[in-house]
A and B are shown apart, each in its own frame.
Chain A
Amino acid sequence: MVKRIASILIVDDELSVRDSLYEWFRKDGHHVTTVANASAALKAMQEQRFDVALLDIKMPGMDGMELQAQTRKIDPDMEVIMITAFASVETAVKALKQGAFDYVTKPIDPDELSHLVHRALEKRRLEHENIRMRDQIDGLVAVDKIVGESPPMQKVLEMVGHVAKTDATVLIRGESGTGKELIARAIHANSARRYFPIVPVNCGSFAEGLLESELFGHERGAFTGAQYRRKGKIEMADGGTLFLDEIGSISPKMQVDLLRVLETKEFMRVGGNRSISSDFRVICASNENLELKVADGEFREDLYYRINVFSIEAPPLRTRGSDIPLLARHFLVRLSRQMDKKITEISPEAMQLLMAHDWPGNVRELSNAIERAMVVGTPPAIRPEDLPVVAAAGGVAGGGDSLADIEKRHIADVLARTDWNITRTAEVLGIDRATVYNKIKKYGLRR
Chain B
Amino acid sequence: MSVLRLVPIYCGSQVDMLASLASRLEQTFGLHPVQHPPGFDPEQAYESSRGQYNSRVLLDLLRRELPGGEGRVLGVTSIDLFIPVLTFVFGEAQLSGRAAVVSTHRLDPTHYGLPADRDALFERLCKESIHELGHTFRLLHCADDRCVMTSSMYVDGIDIKGSRLCDGCLQLLRAANG
Chain A residues packing against B (C-beta within 8 Å): 1-3, 14, 16-17, 19-21, 23-24, 26-29, 83, 106-111, 113-114
Contact = CB atoms under 8 A, between A and B. Distances in A.
B141 A1 contact: no
Nearest to A23: B95
Given A1-B145, A27-B135, A110 B87 contact: yes
B153 A111 contact: yes
Nearest to B134: A27
B140 interface: yes
A109 B86 CA distance: 6
B1 interface: no
Given A2-B143, A28-B140, A110-B153, A16 B84 contact: yes
A266 B82 CA distance: 61
A4 B12 CA distance: 40
A317 to B, nearest CB: 61
A195 to B, nearest CB: 33
Contacts of A17: 84-85
A89 to B, nearest CB: 21
Contacts of B154: 111
A107 B88 CA distance: 9
Contacts of A109: 86-87
B129 to A, nearest CB: 16
Given A1-B145, A23-B95, A29-B141, A114 B151 contact: yes
A108 B87 contact: yes
Interface of B: 50, 56, 82-89, 92, 94-95, 135, 140-141, 143, 145, 151, 153-154
Nearest to B140: A29
B85 A108 contact: yes
Contacts of B56: 16, 19-20
Interface hub of A23, A29, A109, A113 (most chain B Cβ within 10 A): A23
A27 B92 CA distance: 10
A106 B85 contact: yes
Nearest to B54: A16
A111 to B, nearest CB: 4
A20 B85 contact: yes
B95 A26 contact: yes
Nearest to A30: B140
29 contacts: A2-B143, A14-B84, A16-B56, A20-B56, A20-B83, A20-B84, A20-B86, A23-B83, A23-B95, A26-B95, A26-B140, A27-B135, A28-B141, A29-B140, A106-B84, A106-B85, A107-B82, A107-B84, A107-B85, A107-B86, A107-B87, A108-B85, A108-B87, A109-B87, A110-B86, A110-B88, A113-B85, A114-B151, A114-B153
Nearest to A14: B84
Contacts of B151: 27-28, 114
A379 to B, nearest CB: 55
A83 B85 CA distance: 10
Contacts of A19: 56
A109 B151 CA distance: 14
Contacts of B82: 107
A17 B83 CA distance: 8
A26 B50 CA distance: 25
A24 to B, nearest CB: 7
Interface hub of A19, A20, A109 (most chain B Cβ within 10 A): A20
Contacts of B88: 110
A24 B135 CA distance: 11
A108 B88 CA distance: 9
A1 B85 contact: no
A110 B89 contact: yes
Nearest to A10: B85
B156 to A, nearest CB: 11
Nearest to A26: B95
Given A1-B145, A23-B92, A109-B86, 9 more contacts: A2-B143, A3-B141, A16-B83, A17-B84, A19-B56, A20-B84, A27-B135, A29-B140, A107-B86
A83 B154 CA distance: 22
Interface hub of A26, A107, A113 (most chain B Cβ within 10 A): A107
A107 to B, nearest CB: 5
Interface hub of A27, A83, A106, A114 (most chain B Cβ within 10 A): A27
